[in-house]
Amino acid sequence: MMALISKSGAPALDRGLAILELLDGAAGGLNLTDISVAVGSPKNSTSRLLQTLMERRLRA
């Protein structure tokens, strides 16, 4: 399963949206490595994006 990443002017936003799309289609969930590989981003960057997404969810 590979999330499509476009060549937009906002790569972090693009990766964040790709993560959301990826998780939306993953019934059983995914681990950090799976997500990182699917969006083509290093694990540390992916981890920071996930942390930000979780923090925003908690504030919503």
Q: Domain extents for the chain?
A: 11-59
Residue 55: HSE in the Cβ half-sphere, 13 Å Cα cutoff: 6
Give the pLDDT confidence score for residue 16 in this predicted structure: 92
The reported pLDDT for the residue numbered 33 is 97
Tens of pLDDT along the chain (60 residues)?
Answer: 455 556 668 888 889 999 999 999 898 889 999 999 999 999 999 999 999 999 988 886
Q: Residue 22: which of 8, 4, 6 has the closest Cα?
A: 4
Asked if 23 and 30 count as a contact pair (C-beta separation under 8 A), the reply is yes
CA–CA distance, 54 with 23 (Å, rounded to integer): 13
